[in-house]
Structure 1
Amino acid sequence: MPQASALLAEPAAGSDFAPLLRRIRAEGLLERRRGWYALTIAANALALAATGTGIVLTGDSWWTLFMAVPMALFGARTAFVGHDSGHAQIAGTRRTHRVLGLIHSDLLLGMSYAWWNDKHNRHHANPNHIDKDPDVGVGALVWTRRQAAQREGFARWLTRHQARLFFPMLLLEGLNLKVSSLRDLKRQKAGERRVEATLLTLHLVGYTTLLLSSMSLGKALVFALLHHALFGLHLGMVFAPNHKGMEMPDPHGERWGHLRRQVLTSRNVRGGPLTDWFLGGLNYQIEHHLFPNMPRPHLRRAQPIVRAYCRAVGLSYAETGLVDSYRQALGHMHDVGAPLRTG
C-alpha cells in the first residue's frame, strides 16, 4: 500500500509547482520534527491514561459520562497522529510509520489503519474528483446535483434535507468508522488482516473491560454511545470545512496539474493555536494537500509562502473563518438538494 507522501512526485522542471517546492525545501519545511512529535504523542498518551483513570475512580456513577468528553477530544488527537503517520510526516522509515499508525488507529481507536490509508490516499490523489475521490462518492450524503437526481425513496428524502441533518448524522460517524474498518478486513492481504484483526480485537477487549469494570452494563452502553457520538462529531467538524463547496474538477475536462488540483479544491480555516489544536493542523488544508508529508508544526510556517505564491501566479487561495467554513459547506449541501425540494 503506497504511503500518501508517494503521491507527491517530483514535478517536471517547468511545472508551476516546481518553484514553490524548491522554496519550501530551501526553508527546511519538509524536514522531520521528531522531538515535537515525541512530545505530542507522549502528552496525548498521558491524557488518555488520565481519562481512563478518571473513569475508574468515578466508577458506577452517571457523573462518569462527563469523561466521554475528554475521551473523544484526546481520541481525535490520537486519530491525528494516525493520520500524520499515514502521510510519513513523523519518522524516517515506512516501518516506523506503520507501527505508529497501527498503535494509534487500530489499538487505541479500533479503526483500521490500512482502510483509512487506502481511502485517504485516493482522496489526496484526486480531491473532489467525482469519479476518483471516495470522499465525494455517493453515500449517506451526495455532493452534486447529478448524484442527487439519482436518489430514490428514503435516500431522496435524506438528500432533500442533508444540510440540516449533517451535524446530527455526524453523531453516527464514530460507529461508522469502526464498521467500515471491520468490513475492510476482507480486502486486506492475509498477513495484514491478521495484524489488524488482532489489534482491533485487543482494542475492543480493552475498551469493554475498562467500562464494565467501572460501571454497570446500562451506564457502560450509554457511555460508549455518547463517547462515539462526540468522537464522530469532532472528526466531522475537522474534515467538513476542508473541501465541501470547493471546486470539483470536470471528469471529462482538462487535466489539472498538482498545484491547481490541490489548491482550488481545498479551503483553509483561519485561527490561532487553539484552532490548530482543535483541527489537528488540517485547517492548513491547502498546504497539507500540496505537501502531504510536511510535518504538522511546519504547516503554519508554510502558509504565507504558499499564499503569496498563489497570488503571484494568479491562483485563487480560499481562506475563511471556522464558522463561515461550515456555512459554505452546508450551503453547498443545501444547494445540491434544492431540485429535490422543488420537484
Structure 2
Amino acid sequence: MSVATYPDNFHELKEEVRRAGLLDRVPVRGSIEMAAIILSMGIIYAIVLFWDAIEIDSIYKSIALGLFMCIVFTRAVFVSHDILHRQYFKSKSFSMKISYPFSAFILSNSSSWWDFKHNVNHHTWCNVPQKDEDILAMDGAFAPGHTGNKTWLRNSKYLIFWGAMFFMYPAFIVQSYNFVIKRKLWGELFLMLMHWPLVWGVIFYSLPIMDALLVLATLNFVLSPWLAFGFITNHLGCEVFEKEVGEKFSWMELQMRTSRSLRGGILTHWFYGGLNTQIEHHLFPKAPRFNLLKVQKMTKDFARKHNMNYFETSPIEAYVQINNVLKGY
C-alpha cells in the first residue's frame, strides 16, 4: 500500500503563486475570448447565408467551414471549462449562467453535468476509482483492481479505445442529456435542445444536403479527436489509488501523483487549451489558463527544491504510456 511521502507544504507554493498575481481572475480577458467566440458564430452564420455567393468548390467550402467550426467549438469547450472553474468571474452562480451560451447553445452540452462530474468528483478525488468515474474508462483498463472482464472488449481493445477518440463529441452530448434528464433540469435541457435548430437547423436548411453532411462529418471527426487526444493525456497511465489510500495524502500529493503535464510552449498550450499544464490546473483549478505556464515554472522549481516527483512528458510519450497500460488490459 502506498503511503504519503510528499511534504504537506502546499500552502507555501500557493502563497508564492498568489503573491505573483497568478491566481487573480481575468474577467476582461475572459470576456474578450467569449466575445470572440460569439463573433465567430456570427461569421459561421454569414458564411452559411451567403453560401452560394462564395465561388469555391462546394467540397472545399464544406471542409473549410467544418474546420472553422471545429476551432470555434473547441475554444467554446475550453472557455466553458474555464468559466465553470471560476477562472474569469468569482461568483459561481454567475459563472454557471454565463457558461450556458457556450455549453448549451454552441455545444448542446450540459454545464451542470460537467460541473458535477468534473469539478466536484474528478478534481477532488483524481484517479480514485470509487469517486472519479473518468479513470474507470474502457472497463477499468487504467484502474488496477477495478478491471472488468469483457472478453469482446479485450479482444478489440486497441480498435475500440483509439477508435472511440473519433466520437468524443457525440459521447459528451449523450452523457449531458442523460444527466439533465435524470436530474430533471428542464430549463437547461431546453437550452441544449435549442442548439439543434439554431445551429444545425440553419445549416441543413441553407446548404445542399451533401454539403451540410460534409460540414457535420468534418466537424465531428476533427473536433472529437482534438478533444479526446487532449483529455486522455491528463491522467490515464498515471498512478491510481483506492479511496482509503487517497484520503491519507495531502492535497498536493494526490494531485501531483495522479496528473501528467506535457512539455511544450505557447502553441502546445493553445492546442490543449491549457490542459497540458494538468498538474498546475489540478493544484490551482481557479488559476486562469493564461497564467498556467508561469505557474508551471514555479511548481517545477518548488518540486525540485523539496525533492518531489514532477510527472512531465512529451505528448507522444504520454500516448505511448497510455498504450502500454492498455496492453496490460
TM-score (norm 1): 0.85
Equivalent of residue 172 in structure 2, options 177, 192, 213: 177
Equivalent of residue 39 in structure 1, options 16, 32, 36: 32
Distance 2:317 2:117 in 1: 27
**1:114 offset after TM fit, Å?**
0.6
Distance 1:229 1:215 in 2: 20
Which residue identity lines up with residue 128 of structure 2 in the other structure? H
* Structure 2 partner of 1:320: 313
Gap change, CA 1:54 and 1:167, over 3 Å in 2? farther
1:258-269 correspondence runs (5 A): 258-269=251-262
1:216-255 correspondence runs (5 A): 216-253=208-245, 255=248
**1:223 offset after TM fit, Å?**
2.8
Which residue identity lines up with residue 58 of structure 2 in the other structure? S
* Structure 1 partner of 2:300: 307
Gap change, CA 1:293 and 1:154, over 3 Å in 2? same
**More moved, 59-68 vs 271-280:** 59-68
TM-score (norm 2): 0.89
Distance 1:268 1:111 in 2: 26
Equivalent of residue 331 in structure 1, options 299, 317, 324: 324
Secondary structure class of the residue paired with 1:196: helix
Q: 1:241–1:325: 8 Å Cα contact kept in structure 2? A: yes
Structure 1 residue runs of 5 or longer lacking an equivalent are: 1-13, 338-343
- Over residues 203-244 of structure 1, what are the superposed CA-to-partner deviations in whole Å (9 max), with x where a residue is unaligned? 111122222122233443343233223221111121111111
Distance 1:217 1:272 in 2: 41
1:185-200 correspondence runs (5 A): 185-188=180-183, 190=184, 193-200=185-192
Secondary structure class of the residue paired with 2:194: helix
Which residue identity lines up with residue 217 of structure 2 in the other structure? L
Which residue identity lines up with residue 110 of structure 1 in the other structure? S
How many pairs are equivalent?
A: 316
* Structure 1 partner of 2:58: 61
Q: 1:73–1:234: 8 Å Cα contact kept in structure 2? A: no
Which residue identity lines up with residue 325 of structure 1 in the other structure? A
* Structure 1 partner of 2:162: 167
Q: Where do 4+ consecutive residues of structure 1 move more than 3 Å?
A: 55-60, 138-141, 144-148, 164-167, 250-254
Q: 1:138–1:147: 8 Å Cα contact kept in structure 2? A: no
**1:185 offset after TM fit, Å?**
1.6
Q: 2:109–2:176: 8 Å Cα contact kept in structure 1? A: yes
Q: 2:139–2:150: 8 Å Cα contact kept in structure 1? A: no
Distance 1:237 1:49 in 2: 28
Distance 1:276 1:35 in 2: 20
Secondary structure class of the residue paired with 2:325: helix
CA RMSD of superposed structures (Å)? 2.1
Secondary structure class of the residue paired with 1:300: helix
2:20 is aligned with 1:27: yes
**1:116 offset after TM fit, Å?**
1.1
Which residue identity lines up with residue 67 of structure 1 in the other structure? L
2:83 is aligned with 1:91: no
Q: 2:143–2:240: 8 Å Cα contact kept in structure 1? A: no
Gap change, CA 1:333 and 1:153, over 3 Å in 2? closer
Distance 2:44 2:199 in 1: 12
Structure 2 residue runs of 5 or longer lacking an equivalent are: 1-6
Which residue identity lines up with residue 166 of structure 1 in the other structure? F
Q: 1:248–1:265: 8 Å Cα contact kept in structure 2? A: yes
Q: 1:284–1:300: 8 Å Cα contact kept in structure 2? A: yes
Which residue identity lines up with residue 141 of structure 2 in the other structure? V
* Structure 2 partner of 1:8: none
**1:182 offset after TM fit, Å?**
0.9
**1:138 offset after TM fit, Å?**
4.5
Which residue identity lines up with residue 262 of structure 2 in the other structure? V
**More moved, 165-174 vs 196-205:** 165-174
**More moved, 214-223 vs 196-205:** 214-223
Distance 1:80 1:133 in 2: 20
Which residue identity lines up with residue 245 of structure 2 in the other structure? G
Which residue identity lines up with residue 265 of structure 2 in the other structure? G
Q: 2:85–2:286: 8 Å Cα contact kept in structure 1? A: yes
Distance 1:323 1:153 in 2: 29
* Structure 1 partner of 2:112: 114
Gap change, CA 1:82 and 1:44, over 3 Å in 2? same
* Structure 2 partner of 1:5: none
Equivalent of residue 296 in structure 1, options 270, 289, 293: 289
2:120 is aligned with 1:128: no
Equivalent of residue 201 in structure 1, options 172, 185, 193: 193
**1:93 offset after TM fit, Å?**
1.5
Distance 1:118 1:256 in 2: 23
**1:260 offset after TM fit, Å?**
0.3
**1:30 offset after TM fit, Å?**
1.1
Gap change, CA 1:203 and 1:140, over 3 Å in 2? farther
